[in-house]
């Protein structure tokens, strides 16, 4: 029966451990000097060699050859995930008192020790405080923060590091050459990155792919398609579209990746890894990196990813000129003239005969402004973006030139329409109706009454909403 590659290439001695020299060197010197602790704690991410070192250490303490296919009676492995009750630990405490069968020490390896219950930890604490001379405990965990401080303080702690992509690639190349797996370096580097610092995961991916390559071998494109990844060029295009604030390109690329079966969380991970590599040259991507970390926590990661990328790329409101044409300011001037003290009437100047009038200057016509079809906008959003319609249908509106003013009646609806996801969809609707140039402004009040007397009454009463009684 074939053996999985990660088991076949599991290290057998401390010298064979890759990427954890800060741990193996200390343990090797301690073994040479015969300095054996009564309890060790191995912490770090998954798949970096904690269990392998625990087993190697147990055999070298007892001066036994390491062979994982032949278990030894005095080396006991316990999975805390399935033996986490207080009764299990009490049984262990009773067995610890029994002397080893043939070896010098009786060694207990407790994997995923953070899974023990609080009562089980309390029961184990007494044994760690006063262990028998012949007992050694080796505890391993991926989550040391869940361990009581009283347990940690009674052990020698060794913190393992995540495997670097360079170390992982080098080790994968050794395995591929030994197993005669035809694979190029780009593909190995991608497998190492997808392993996320875990040797076990990286080797398992290589094992999964070796039957696919055949005579042609394995290249990067094959790894991407087999693991459901977006091509590297696709990820780069997505970041370029984000940089250039091209919303249509972002939507198109996200639709492409969805059609290709790329999960949003996988695409987000690829974006994070790419941005992380480019962050020194592109510090402006730091906010994006922070927002991408929130995508995996969302119940709808695809929508969240679109929001993260699209909110930056959505069109910015255009600046409206504050200067008004002469026709708009003439009325106030006339009012001021009426209020001012008028001078005594003067006789009109004499009219000169046959004096031609100066030619009048032609005023440049104002560019035509599209009048918004409000009912059509409501119908469009009801069909395409129901969430936008549910808020928009409750709003009043007013078009002031190139500005669409939405009276949301309260702050809650204003917040809804100001949300980047709804604002993008509303802007899309306007664009599809030919009014994409309108700038949206939201005001958290009812629309002002159109009748001047009603407006004056509303101002006296502190506000109000015009109601039709027809």
Kindly state whether residue 136 falls inside one of the protein's structural domains.
yes
- Identify any residues that bridge with 182 across adjacent strands, giving them in sequence order: none
Q: What is the mean pLDDT of residues 50-62?
A: 92
Residue 393 reports pLDDT greater than 60: yes
276 and 392 both lie in a single domain? no
Position with higher pLDDT, 364 vs 141:
141
Question: How many whole angstroms separate alpha carbon 263 and alpha carbon 277?
Answer: 22
Q: In the predicted model, is pLDDT for residue 95 greater than 90?
A: no
The tens digit of pLDDT for each residue in 204-234 reads 988 888 877 767 788 888 888 888 889 889 9
If asked whether residues 186 and 204 sit together in one domain, one would say yes
Q: Is the pLDDT of residue 130 over 70?
A: yes
The pLDDT value given to residue 329: 44
**Residue in the structure block whose two tokens are 């962050």:** 279
**Average pLDDT of the residues of the chain:** 81
Contact 114, 146 (CB under 8 A): yes
Name the residue among 154, 97, 166 with its Cα closest to residue 129. Answer: 154
46 lies in some domain: yes
Percent pLDDT > 90 in the chain is 20
Which whole number is the average pLDDT over 16-24? Answer: 88
Q: Considering the entire predicted model, what is its pTM?
A: 0.59
Contact 226, 183 (CB under 8 A): no
One domain, residues 107 and 203: no
pLDDT at 195: 85
Query: So what's the pLDDT on residue 226?
Result: 86
- Out of 157-171, 181-195, 214-228, 261-275, pick the least confident: 214-228
Question: Which residues are CB-contacts of 273 (< 8 A; sequence separation ≥ 6)?
Answer: 193
Q: Are residues 190 and 56 in the same domain?
A: no
Question: How large is the average pLDDT for residues 94-99?
Answer: 87
For range 372-388, the mean pLDDT: 86
Residues 6+ positions from 161 with CB-CB distance below 8 Å: 19, 20, 22, 44, 48
Is residue 355 in a domain?
A: no
Kindly report the CATH number assigned to the domain that includes residue 74: 3.40.50.300
Please, are residues 42 and 131 in contact by the beta-carbon 8 Å criterion?
no
Question: Is residue 349 over pLDDT 70?
Answer: no
Residue whose structure tokens are 């069109």: 315
Instruction: State which of 159, 178, 196 marks the end of a domain.
Output: 159
Report whether pLDDT(81) > 90.
Answer: no
For residue 80, pLDDT over 80 is answered with yes
pLDDT of residue 84: 75
CB 269 within 8 A of CB 301: no
> Is-contact 140 51, C-beta < 8 A?
yes
Q: Categorize the per-residue pLDDT at 385 as very low, low, confident or very high, splitting at 50, 70 and 90.
A: confident
Inform me whether the pLDDT recorded for 449 exceeds 80: no
State mean pLDDT over 47-66. 90
Q: Does residue 32 lie in a domain region?
A: yes
- Given a cut of 50, whether residue 470 has pLDDT beyond it is no
pLDDT at res. 402: 83
CA distance 298 to 306: 12
One domain for residues 192 and 253: no
| Residue whose C-alpha is closest to residue 294's, from 314, 255, 268 | 268
Share of the chain above pLDDT 70, in %: 82
Q: What is the DSSP letter of 48?
A: S
pLDDT for the residue numbered 3? 79
Q: Which residue has the higher pLDDT, 459 or 155?
A: 155
Model confidence at 157: pLDDT above 90: yes
Query: Would you place residue 346 in the very low, low, confident or very high pLDDT band (cuts 50, 70, 90)?
Result: low
Beta bridge partners of 183: 218
Looking at the predicted structure, is the pLDDT value of residue 316 above 80? no
Domain end: 159, 184, 217, which one?
A: 159
Helix (H) / strand (E) containing 442: strand 439-443
Through-space distance between the first and last CA atoms of the chain, rounded to whole angstroms: 86
Instruction: List phi, psi (to 5°) of 140.
Output: -130, 140
Choice among 146-150, 222-226, 279-283, 455-459 with the minimum mean pLDDT: 455-459
Nearest one of 136, 126, 167 to 54, comparing CA atoms: 136
pLDDT at 315: 53
Instruction: Identify whether residues 10 and 155 lie together within a single domain.
Output: yes
- Same domain? For 150 and 190 the reply is no
Number of domains in the chain: 4
Check whether residue 25 and residue 151 sit in a common domain: yes
pLDDT at 312: 74
Spatial separation of the C-alpha atoms in residues 153 and 37, rounded to whole Å: 13
Assess contact for 156 and 121: CB atoms under 8 A: no
Nearest-angstrom CA–CA distance, 31 and 63: 10
The reply to whether 219 and 262 lie within a common domain is no
Q: Is the pLDDT of residue 389 over 90?
A: no
Residue 327 lies inside a defined structural domain of this protein: no
For residue 181, what is the domain's CATH number? Answer: 1.10.8.60
Of residues 423 and 464, the one with the higher pLDDT is 423
122 and 190, same domain (yes or no) = no
* Residue 109: pLDDT over 90: yes
SS3 for 110-154 is: EECHHHCCHHHHHHHHHHHHCCCCCEEEEEEECCHHHCCHHHHCC
Indicate whether 239 and 101 sit together in one domain. no
* Residue range of the domain that includes 236: 232-313
Task: Return the H-helix or E-strand segment holding 108.
Answer: strand 106-111
pLDDT tier for residue 337 given thresholds of 50, 70 and 90: very low
Q: Is residue 95 part of a domain?
A: yes
Per-residue pLDDT at 336? 42
**What does the pLDDT average to over 86-109?**
87
Confidence tier at 320 by pLDDT (50, 70, 90)? very low
Whole-number pLDDT of residue 267: 92
Shared domain for 205 and 87, answered yes or no, is no
In a 13 Å sphere around the CA of 367, the CA atoms on its Cβ side amount to 5
**Averaged pLDDT, 411-435:** 84
- With the C-alpha atoms ordered 420, 421, 422, 423, is the resulting torsion angle positive or negative? positive
Domain boundary among 267, 296, 313: 313
Question: What confidence category does residue 134 fall into, taking pLDDT thresholds of 50, 70 and 90?
Answer: very high
């Amino acid at each position: 029966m074939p053996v999985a590659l990660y088991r076949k290439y599991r290290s057998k001695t401390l010298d064979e451990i890759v990427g954890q020299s800060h741990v193996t060197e200390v343990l090797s010197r301690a073994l040479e000097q015969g300095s054996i602790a009564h309890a060790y704690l191995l912490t770090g991410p998954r798949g970096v060699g904690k269990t392998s070192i625990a087993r190697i250490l147990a055999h070298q303490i007892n001066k036994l050859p390491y062979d994982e296919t032949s278990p030894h009676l005095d080396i006991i492995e316990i999975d805390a995930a399935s033996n986490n009750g207080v009764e299990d630990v009490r049984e262990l405490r009773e067995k610890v008192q029994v002397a080893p069968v043939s070896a010098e020490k009786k060694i207990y390896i407790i994997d995923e020790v953070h899974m023990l219950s609080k009562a089980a930890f309390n029961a184990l604490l007494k044994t760690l405080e006063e262990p028998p001379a012949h007992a050694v405990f080796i505890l391993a965990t991926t989550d040391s923060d869940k361990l009581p401080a009283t347990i940690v303080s009674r052990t020698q702690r060794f913190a393992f590091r995540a495997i670097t992509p360079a170390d992982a690639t080098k080790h994968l190349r050794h395995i591929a050459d030994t197993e005669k797996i035809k694979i190029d370096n780009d593909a190995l580097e991608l497998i190492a990155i997808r392993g996320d610092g875990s040797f076990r995961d990286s080797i398992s991916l290589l094992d999964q792919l070796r039957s696919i390559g055949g005579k042609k071998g394995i290249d990067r494109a094959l790894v991407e398609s087999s693991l459901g990844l977006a091509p590297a060029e696709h990820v780069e295009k997505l970041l370029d579209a984000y940089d250039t604030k091209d919303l249509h390109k972002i939507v198109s690329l996200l639709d492409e990746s969805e059609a290709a079966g790329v999960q949003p969380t996988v695409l987000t991970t690829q974006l994070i890894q790419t941005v992380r590599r480019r962050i020194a040259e592109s510090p402006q991507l730091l906010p994006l990196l922070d927002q991408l970390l929130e995508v995996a926590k969302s119940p709808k990661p695809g929508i969240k990813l679109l929001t993260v990328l699209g909110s930056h790329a959505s069109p910015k409101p255009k600046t409206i000129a504050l200067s008004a044409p002469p026709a708009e300011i003439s009325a106030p001037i006339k009012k001021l003239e009426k209020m001012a003290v008028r001078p005594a009437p003067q006789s009109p100047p004499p009219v000169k005969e046959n004096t031609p009038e100066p030619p009048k200057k032609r005023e440049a016509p104002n560019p035509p402004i599209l009048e918004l079809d409000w009912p059509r906008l409501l119908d469009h959003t009801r069909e395409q973006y129901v969430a936008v319609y549910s808020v928009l249908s409750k709003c009043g509106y007013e078009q002031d030139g190139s500005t669409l003013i939405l009276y949301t009646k309260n702050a809650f609806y204003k917040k809804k329409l100001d949300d980047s996801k709804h604002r993008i969809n509303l802007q899309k609707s306007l664009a599809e109706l030919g009014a994409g140039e309108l700038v949206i402004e939201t005001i958290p009040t009812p629309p002002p009454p159109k009748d001047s007397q009603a407006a004056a009454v509303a101002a006296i009463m502190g506000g109000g909403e015009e109601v039709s009684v027809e």
